[in-house]
Each structure stands twice: as structure tokens, then as C-alpha cells.
């Protein structure tokens, strides 16, 4: 198991982990639990980025150049 730094939850140690750090840990009931970052949070960030890009891809601002 590991503690996810982005969603602040404890996850089981499986393929859901994007990254589990070797040197960091948090104490839970006097037990050292490694720190990590889950893929679910990473995919949410990617989805928000795609939504942002889709929203502004058709945006053409008026550019005024000084002569």
C-alpha cells in the first residue's frame, strides 16, 4: 500500500500507482507507508488539459502590431 500525495488517500500497491517514492513515507498508526502518486489523478490532469486545449483551440485573438 502507499499514500497518494495528490488525492490524499491510501491505495493498495498495484498497477494503479504512477510513481512510488523510495525515500518518502507517512506514519499511519505507527506504520511507515510509502508515498506515491496514483494514475487516476494523472489521468484527471490530462483530461483537464485536453478540455482546456479544445476550448481555446478555436480562439483567434486579434493581434495589433505597433507600427
Report in angstroms the alpha-carbon separations of 42 from 9, 36, 47, 65: 14, 12, 9, 39
| DSSP-derived secondary structure for 24-48 | EEEEETTEEEEEEEEHHHHHHHHHH
Q: Is residue 17 part of a domain?
A: yes
Domain count, the chain: 1
Confidence of residue 12 (pLDDT cuts 50, 70, 90): confident
Q: Does residue 48 lie within any of the structural domains?
A: yes
Residues in CB range of 18: below 8 A, 6 or more apart: 36, 37, 38, 39, 41, 42
Q: Does position 67 have pLDDT exceeding 60, yes or no?
A: no
- Grid coordinates 488517500 are at which residue? 9
Determine, yes or no, domain membership for 32: yes
Whole-number pLDDT of residue 42:
59
Expressed as residue numbers, the domain containing 34 is 2-56
Residue 62 within any structural domain of the chain: no
Q: How confident is the model at residue 62 (pLDDT cuts 50, 70, 90)?
A: low
To the nearest whole number, what is the mean pLDDT of the chain? 75
Report the DSSP beta bridge partners of residue 33.
26
Note whether residue 63 is domain-resident: no
The answer to the question of residue 64 being in a domain is no
* 66 in a structural domain: no
Amino acid at each position: 500500500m502507499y499514500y497518494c500525495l495528490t488525492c490524499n488517500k491510501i491505495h493498495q500497491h498495484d498497477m494503479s500507482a504512477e510513481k512510488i517514492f523510495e525515500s518518502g513515507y507517512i506514519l499511519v498508526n505507527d506504520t511507515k507507508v510509502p508515498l506515491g502518486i496514483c494514475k487516476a489523478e494523472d489521468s484527471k490532469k490530462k483530461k483537464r488539459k485536453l478540455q482546456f486545449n479544445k476550448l481555446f483551440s478555436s480562439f483567434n485573438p486579434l493581434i495589433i502590431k505597433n507600427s
